[in-house]
Structure 1
Amino acid sequence: MLGTPMSNTFFHRLAYSCLLTAALSSTASAQAPAAACGGDFAAFLQGVKAEAVAKGIPAEAADRALEGAQIDQKVLSRDRAQGVFRQTFLEFSQRTVSQARLDIGRQKMKQYAEVFDRAQNEFGVAPGIITAFWAMETDFGSVQGDFNTRNALVTMAHDCRRPELFRPQLIALIEMVQHGDLNPATNTGAWAGEIGQVQMLPEDIIAHGVDGDGDGHINVKTSSPDAILTAAKFIQSMGFKAGQPWIQEVSLPENLPWEKSGLGNEIPASQWFSFGVTPRDGNTKFGDLPAALVLPQGRKGPAFLTYPNFNVYLQWNQSFIYTTSAAYFATRLSGAPTYQKGTPEPGLDDAGMKALQTKLEALGHDIGKVDGILGSGTRVAVQKEQARLGLPADGWPTQALLSAL
C-alpha cells in the first residue's frame, strides 16, 4: 500500500487476533499447543503438510504448494525494520486522497459499474468504499508487492515471533493452490503475505472469495471483478450495514463538551446535533445512531462524526490516521466535497511528543511506549490531562499542554 509501509495493514488487521489470543491464553494453552516453528526447515515443512492434510487438503496439493519453498531473509529484515507512522491527518490525507486518485477512482467506478452494482446489491457496500481501499492499498492494483507469497508466509510461519498468526495463512495458501487459484512459484504480493489488488490475506480470500468474472477461479491479483466483489463480501462480513453512513464531516461551534470527543465516546448523533455540531451535507436523518466526534488535529482542524460502520475501517487497519483518511476518501468518491482544513494548532515534534509521553507516564497514564507516536493511549491521556488543567479536552497535544505539565 502506498499510504503507509506495505503490509502494515496486515498487522493492524490482525491486532484483534492478537488481543483475542492474549485474552484466551489461559484456556487456549491448555487445549491446543502453540504452532510449531523454528528448527529443521524440512521437518517444519513436513509438519505444515501434515496439518494441511489433516484439514482435508490433498497431500498432492500440499506438495505442489511447498515444493521449492525457502526462507526469504528480506522478509525477516522487512519485518524487523517496520517504520513508524508519524504523519498528521492533514499531511497523510492530502497526499493519499489526491485529485489524480479521485479521477482514476471515478473512472474505475464507471468502468466496472456492473460489478460495483452487484457488490452493492449483494453485499450492501457502496462503490466508493471499495474503491478507496483499492486506491490506498495498491494504487488500483499497480503496486501489489514483489515478494513471493508462498516464501513470505513460510518464512513468517517458521520464524518464532508470531507463528500463531502466519501458520494458518500458510495453510490457507495451500488450499488456494488446491483450488487452482494461486501458483506458488510465481505469485507475488506484500512481504507479510497479503495478496492482490486490495491486499487480502489467504484465509480471508478462502472465506470470502467471489468469482466476479465467471472464469471458475478467484484471482484477486489479476481480476478486478474478483477483487472488487471479494472485498465487498469481506467488508460485509466485518459488520458493515447497508444504507448507513460511516463518516460525516461536521462544523463545530466555539464551545462543546470536548471531553466527550474521541473514538470510544459514542453518544446518539442527535445529541451532537443538539450541541451545535452541524453536518456539512445537512443530513441529520441518522440521529438515532451512536456517533463519536473525532478531531484528528484538535478542535480547530477537520472534524467528523463516525458511525458504527466506521468500525469496519478499524478492523481493516487500526491506524487512526489511515482509517480516517480511507473513510474520508470513500465519502469524496461518493460525492462529498473536500474537507475544511481549519487552522489546527501546531502539534509537537518527535522530541516534544516523547517529552510529553514521559510526563504522562510519570502521572500514571498508560500510554504504551514512549515512542513519539500519537497513538490511542496517548490521545486518551492527553484528553484527561487537558480536562484536569482546564484546557479544551480535544485530545490534540500542543506546546501549551506540554508547558502546562
Structure 2
Amino acid sequence: MNPVNFDISDIKLADAGKQRINWADSEMPVLASIRERFAKEQPFSGQTVAACMHITTETANLLRALKAGGAKVVACASNPLSTQDDVAASLVKHDEISIFAIRGESQEVYVSHIDSVLDEVPTITMDDGCDLVTRLHTVRKTNISQVIGGTEETTTGVIRLRAMEVDGALEFPIVAVNDADTKHMFDNRYGTGQSTLDGVIRATNVLLAGQVVVVAGYGYCGKGVASRARGMGAQVVVTEIDPIKALEAVMDGFRVEPMAIAAKEGDIFITVTGNRDVIVEDHFRVMKDGAILANSGHFDIEIDLKALERLASGERRRMVRPMVEEFLIDGDSGPIKIRVLAEGRLVNLGAAEGHPAAVMDMSFANQALAAEWVVKNSQTLKSKVYDVPREIDDEVAKLKLASMGISIDILTDIQQEYLTSWNHA
C-alpha cells in the first residue's frame, strides 16, 4: 500500500490515468521546464502544499511539479463533479500524492475531503474558488498558524479574498493568480470559451449554428464563450450589469439585452458571471420549450435551481441524457421543458474535460512560480491579496512563446531610454 492517505473512487484506474496525465504533460512545456528546475533547486523542501482544485490531468502535472520541488502535496476537489477518477488514482499510485476526491461526491463528502487535506497541516494553500481558505478561516482556524501563504486560481475566489482583506479577516498572504495577464487573458478567454462549448456539445449533441445563445456576463470568460459561439454560427446575445462591459460587447458586434428580454429569445443559456441568481423563476416561465441552461461560473448558484425544482415538483423532472436533466414547468404560455446541464455546475468540467492542457500550461506555471515566490518572501509578506509579480507574468509569456518557436523584437538601448524619459523633442 502507498504511504499516503487518500480517498478515491478506484485505484485500479491508475494506469489509464497515468496515460492521460502524460498526454497532457506533452502539451504543457512551460510547466515541464519549471518542474525540471524545481527538481534541481528543491524550493519547497519542508513545505506541505494543500490544493483544493479540479483533479484533472492538467492539475496532476502541477501537483507533480510541486512534489518534484520537494513539497509534500495533498489535494482535494474544488467541485464535486470535476474530478477525473483515473487521474486521482494515478496520482495516488504512481506519484504517492494524497488525493481526497471522487467524481459525484456529495456535499458532505466534499467538505470532509477539504478537512482531510487540512488534517495534513499545510503550510501553503492553493485554491480554486476559495473553499479551502474559507474553511481555514472559519471551522479550521487552529490550522492557520502553520500557513505561510497561498494562491488563488479563480475570479470568484479572488473576489472573496479581497472582501476578506477589506474586512480585516484574511490571516495570511494570498497571490491572486487569476489576475495575472498570462492567466485571465488566455485561460479565462480561450480556455473557458472552448471548454464550455465542448461541454454543451458533449452533453446535448446540439448544433450551435443558427441557435440563439445567451451569454450572461462579458468578462474574459464571457468574451471567450461569446466569440466561440459566434464562430460556430450561433446568434449571440449578451446580458450584463456593467455598463463598460456591455458597451464593449456592443462594439464587438453582439446584441446586448436585459435577461428578462433575452429569456424569451434564447435557445441556449450560458452563465459566466461569478454571481448568484442570474437566471431565476421569472426567466424560466417565459423561456422557449426545450431551452438549454448551462453554467460555467464557479459555483452552482448562477441558475436558481431551487426555484426550478419547485416549479417541476413531483414526476416532472427526469434525466434525459447523461448530464442533462429535464424540468417540465408551467410557463406563462403553457408547458415548457427546460434542460439543465451538469447539475448547474461547471459544464466544461461536469460534461467535458475542462480547459485544454496547452492553455492551462500558463495558468499552472503561474501557480507554481507564485507559490515559489511566497516561500522566498514569506518573512516580509503581509496578510493581504498580492498581484502576481510582473516578472513572473513576463517569464511565463516568454517561456510559452519559446515553446511555440516564436521570437519577438527587443528594445534597443535608445528605444528604452526614449520610453523612460520625458524631455525628448
TM-score, scaled relative to structure 2? 0.27
TM-score normalised by the chain length of structure 1? 0.28
Q: Which has the higher strand share?
A: 2
